[in-house]
Structure 1
Amino acid sequence: MPDKVTIFVIFYLVFLAAAPLFLCVASAKRRGAFLPFTFDPRKRDGRSVTLKFAAVAIAVIFTEPAYAANAQHLAKFLESFGVGGGVYPGREAQYIYLGVRNNRDGGVTTPDGVTNAINLHNSTMIPGVNPGVKASLLTISQPGWPTIPQFIKNAESLAAAGALLAIEGVNEPHNFGVTYNGRYGGGGTDWLPVAQFTRDLRAAVVADPWISTYPVFSPSETGAESGNYGLQWAQIPKGGADPTKQAAAGVPDGTIYYDFANAHNYVCSIFPDPVRPNQAWLASDPSVNQPGFDGEYGNNGVTWGAKYAGYTPTQLLTLPKVTTETGWQTGSGKGFVSEDTQGKVLLNTLLDQFKRGWAYTFFYELYDGGTSLGTWGLFHSDKSPKLAATYFHNLTSALVDIGYGSLGQLPYSFTGPATVHDLLLQRSDGQFFLVLWNERVPGDGGSDDIPLDLGQTFSSIDIYDPTVGTGIQRTYPNTRSLTLHMTDHPLILALKPAIGSGNSVSFVKRDTTTMGNWSGVYGADGYNISQDTHTLTPSYASVGFSGQSNYTWVSLPTDKRALQRPENPSTRIAACWYSATNFTIDVNITDGKSHQVALYANDWDHDTRKETINVIDAATSAVLDTQILPAGASLHNGEYLVWNIKGHVKFQIVRNVSYNSVISGIFFR
């Protein structure tokens, strides 16, 4: 009987230097006071952190299943790339070189600052390549700085010029403090002014017809909140904050603070640790309290300061989120890395962040800058590029798009360790770009050979390596499968489709009402009912099966979900072809005409079965159509998928979640 498949994944634990697990608790008033090297003085005060494990878990080699992966917009990925670095004149060339789309700066607070931001946007606008750098307008609430109405006016000007990305709440209020309505907060004191400013800022944005559609980012580091005003929530739920504090601040249940959570989950971690395998992957984890990383969990799950409860780990996965600061300093000594390591880790960070749901990632900082900016920069202080800037330039030279087209799927699979990750992107003209990256420790000499099956043949596959240059490093003609030698950074595969074969598919409809009563509706030309001995194959077609198992639930049921037996439509059979992974139905229409083909699937014994049907060109292996079952919440009552088919295709029936993939019948008309 088709039943739930349990997949066992074995993990090998590789323990580092200190043999026994140990507990290390460190506390300091400032990061700079705790760390034996110069950290960014703009950063938050340190907090007691428990480093629970001095170990790194590395998964045993595994195979990524050949499920059809959904592509994401290439333009959306490129639009996630941001940098902090000021909008002052003379920096345009560096922004263009990076290919970056967004800027974060507190300097857009004066008329001159707004003008500079608009000029930067206009000067970085390259038709077909870059829509122009947009600003995350960082607000500040301190004496001498603009008020909320002035910030709103600045945002209006930026929006009118097409140069506004978002409005951002105050930066690290526990470090820099907030003065609002005559009261000081943050900076180690109660956060009432922070809550009120955040509430009023978003309300002002929403009320302004010129900028009401622009998102508001939360104050960074809400995990430091003092006094539970509910800032860990985008919208305060019932019981989500301290009622006394809420009353004092005027932030009742239902108050909306922001649209996107905002973390400073520095990839370098909050300790001067060496680079670890999966360094960037761990830093970008949105739902797990990864030791040493200041991630979303500690800011919006359970706050790292006072331990206020917020979103559950499951909710954190889908909570809209941004990172407005991350990076790693270059140099020698503990806590610093080489330019090559910085560049590779930051490339991995941009990819990891996007794959794990971060809408925008801003790197700190554009330039090195002495004592205030340290060596965080992507460029040296003389504006010459570090390797990180060069690697980003190479990445955004290979990946170029500004439009949004329709999205497809690709049923690829690969084998490799848990340090290998993947991202399928699709350009607006339909071309796929598959990015794979390995997060071994840069420079340690480790590598992995990764067998990759793309699920279909491409006329050519061009390989780009952003750590080498902007050009194609290797081309594979007429290829479906290849092996990639991977170390510590991304490789980009530009997939050019094979020339069309003449085989075609047109999806007609879904049918959730006919159920098992197919006679007179489908199958006028032919039919094949699973486990029934009476089969009729049309003269114009051939049908074959591979990879399936057979099962009969009930031989003679009366339930109308069961398919009618063709030899006696008053009787029925509940049966299926099934697989724990996927199976194939090969259909070859040989008369050169288009014919209707229908598949019937029924979740007879459960109601949570989900599966994907890929219709694949038998000549080129191209995916011609993809449908997901069920259309609604359950496949329990059965569902038909109907296509018009011309030529030779293969139906790939792929298990998605829970129970096996199933099909109970195929019909021709």
Structure 2
Amino acid sequence: MKHPVAATQTVLARSAVSHGSRLASRARPYKLFGARAAASLATGICVLASATTVQASDPVRAIPANAFIDTLGVVTHVNYTDGAYINVRNVADNLAWLGIHHVRDYTPGPSAPFSSYAYLAQRGVKFNFLVRSNIAESIEVAAKLNAAVPGSIAAIEGFNEIDNFPVPYRGLTGTPAGLAAQREIYARVRNTPELAGVPIYDLTGYDLKSVETRADSADYANQHAYPQNGNQPTYNVPGGAWLPAAINSVKKFQLPIVITEFGYFSMPQSGWYMIGVDEASQAKGVLNGYMDAAAAGVKRLYVYELLDQKPDPQNKNAEMHFGLFRFDNSPKPVAYAIRNLTSVLNTGTTRRATGAARNTLAYTLADMPASANGLLLQKKDGRFVLALWNETAIWDRATGTPVTHPPARVSVDFGATASRVDLYDPLVSATPLASHRDVRQLTVNVPDHVILLEVTPADMPGT
């Protein structure tokens, strides 16, 4: 997230500590992609009965679906009152439509009324508040909001990307200034009764190699990760493993981790070290990134950003194309995909305590390529959701066009007969593309983006 100054097209130079930086600049009802596209995807991602015998594995413990949804965050700019964010009702409605409750924004300031933040908080929005240069004032206003709407502050975060936007502090500059300011932020939050229990996220943009501990400075390590060249978030050939690199860079602090900026702008580009892709590829990368982060144990990943800030019909300013929604508030494919994902995970009724279902599934995946990933979730009604995705290349940086590779054929054994298995593709719909009854083994075509296998065990209470 950048300061509200005029945006530029400057691209940051590569370095060991700037892999997470973006551009040097400032910081609804379902709609399918079309009947023809949906039919094509349903055919290409078909699930076929498999005769392959697979050895059952040890039980895998599932992540509760609501805990996974709680890892989903998005960046907002409520203080930008000269563009799309001026309509705070759209902001609230869009977040509710997506099924996302966590946002990252600056603490309320002079450019946007406090009432806008209070309105969002009353609608269930939970803020990670970035501290402004006036530390005392920022923490005071955050405390005021948390007192007005208890539980609305999820975290307080230190200064943003001080390598790009240096903040002087008591005669210090650069990394020493940022680190000293972070210690003051930590102490002030800890001594503010209205913020009791609110965690402190670290600042971003300092020289990680020169720091060995975050004691008395942060409760969570914090990084930014922007895949370059249209790369997938974790498996890129050629290129860097962007999300893993961000995570690994702060593991030495032995703290839980958050990624407070991640994303792709939907302005197709070619060339070296660019991140512009088309809208369909943006949807794939963002959805995969959410899954990758959760699978790696990241507490929360905030996608940059909710809305395209201003119109840019001639595609001259990449900064105006990061949104999940366009400037006119119409959802991009990525917004539909997120809504479909959260809709699938939220369907069903909470199981009764007397009929509690098990929370493990002894599934096995065979023929998974190195670029493929899986994550097991469990819905509140006890059904499992096995997410699979294969991070093959999605963008040709030489031509600035999307590419598609054949899906990986993966054999799945559920460890026991499932009474029902439904296949979902969030990029297409929130309804199943295929359904199977009384199966133990399936062969699944896993594409370059997340698909979901909803598994109803035969021994599940109520089935």
**What is the Cα deviation at residue 173 of structure 1?**
1.2
User: Superposition RMSD on alpha carbons, in Å?
Assistant: 3.2
Percent of aligned pairs sharing the same letter:
28
148, 155, 160: which is aligned to 1:171?
160
173, 177, 183: which is aligned to 1:185?
173
1:64/1:155 CA distance change after superposition, 3 Å: farther
1:42/1:495 CA distance change after superposition, 3 Å: same
Structure number having the greater strand percentage: 1
Query: For 1:460-479, what aligned pairs fall within 5 Å after superposition?
Result: 460-479=420-439
Structure number having the greater helix percentage: 2
What is residue 495 of structure 1 aligned with on the other side?
A: 455
Q: Contact 2:75/2:305 (CA < 8 Å) preserved in 1?
A: yes
Aligned: 1:136 with 2:128: yes
Amino acid at match of 1:92: A
Aligned: 1:96 with 2:96: yes
1:159/1:167 CA distance change after superposition, 3 Å: farther
1:480/1:344 CA distance change after superposition, 3 Å: same
Q: Contact 1:108/1:114 (CA < 8 Å) preserved in 2?
A: yes
Query: For 1:256-655, what aligned pairs fall within 5 Å after superposition?
Result: 256-266=216-226, 268-269=227-228, 272=229, 278-279=235-236, 282-285=241-244, 290=245, 295-298=246-249, 300=250, 310-311=252-253, 315=254, 319-334=255-270, 335=274, 336-369=276-309, 370=312, 371=317, 373-400=319-346, 408-415=359-366, 416-442=368-394, 443-498=403-458
1:71/1:42 CA distance change after superposition, 3 Å: same
**What is the Cα deviation at residue 424 of structure 1?**
1.1
Partners of 2:63 and 2:176 in 1: CA distance: 40
**What is the Cα deviation at residue 174 of structure 1?**
1.8
Q: Contact 1:277/1:440 (CA < 8 Å) preserved in 2?
A: no
Amino acid at match of 1:217: Y
Partners of 2:110 and 2:146 in 1: CA distance: 12
Q: Contact 2:69/2:100 (CA < 8 Å) preserved in 1?
A: yes
Q: Secondary structure at the match of 1:480?
A: strand
Question: Which runs of no fewer than 5 residues in structure 1 stay unpaired?
Answer: 1-29, 45-62, 124-131, 236-255, 302-309, 503-619, 621-669
**What is the Cα deviation at residue 332 of structure 1?**
2.6
Query: For 1:119-130, what aligned pairs fall within 5 Å after superposition?
Result: 119-123=119-123
Partners of 2:205 and 2:13 in 1: CA distance: 19
Partners of 1:157 and 1:276 in 2: CA distance: 35
59, 62, 81: which is aligned to 1:71?
62
1:91/1:185 CA distance change after superposition, 3 Å: same
Q: Contact 2:231/2:393 (CA < 8 Å) preserved in 1?
A: no
Q: Contact 2:235/2:371 (CA < 8 Å) preserved in 1?
A: yes
* TM-score normalised per structure 1: 0.53
Partners of 1:105 and 1:372 in 2: CA distance: 20
Amino acid at match of 2:389: W
Partners of 1:108 and 1:150 in 2: CA distance: 8
Partners of 1:372 and 1:135 in 2: CA distance: 26
What is residue 41 of structure 1 aligned with on the other side?
A: 24
**What is the Cα deviation at residue 394 of structure 1?**
1.1
Query: Which structure has the larger Rg?
Result: 1
Cα distance per residue 1:493-527 (max 9 Å; x no partner): 2222325799xxxxxxxxxxxxxxxxxxxxxxxxx
Q: Contact 2:324/2:331 (CA < 8 Å) preserved in 1?
A: yes
206, 209, 214: which is aligned to 1:234?
214
What is residue 191 of structure 2 aligned with on the other side?
A: 207
Which of 441-450 and 472-481 deviates more?
441-450
Q: Contact 1:117/1:135 (CA < 8 Å) preserved in 2?
A: no
Partners of 1:384 and 1:108 in 2: CA distance: 26
**What is the Cα deviation at residue 403 of structure 1?**
8.3
Cα distance per residue 1:331-358 (max 9 Å; x no partner): 2322321111111111110000011011
Q: Secondary structure at the match of 2:268?
A: coil
Aligned: 1:32 with 2:6: no
Partners of 1:500 and 1:379 in 2: CA distance: 39
What is residue 239 of structure 1 aligned with on the other side?
A: none
What is residue 649 of structure 1 aligned with on the other side?
A: none
**What is the Cα deviation at residue 283 of structure 1?**
2.4
Amino acid at match of 2:247: E
Question: Which runs of no fewer than 5 residues in structure 2 stay unpaired?
Answer: 1-8, 15-21, 28-53, 79-84, 395-402
Structure scoring higher RCO (CA < 8 A, sep ≥ 6) equals 2
Q: Secondary structure at the match of 2:442?
A: strand
Which of 472-481 and 366-375 deviates more?
366-375
Amino acid at match of 2:248: Y
1:353/1:500 CA distance change after superposition, 3 Å: closer
Partners of 1:107 and 1:218 in 2: CA distance: 16
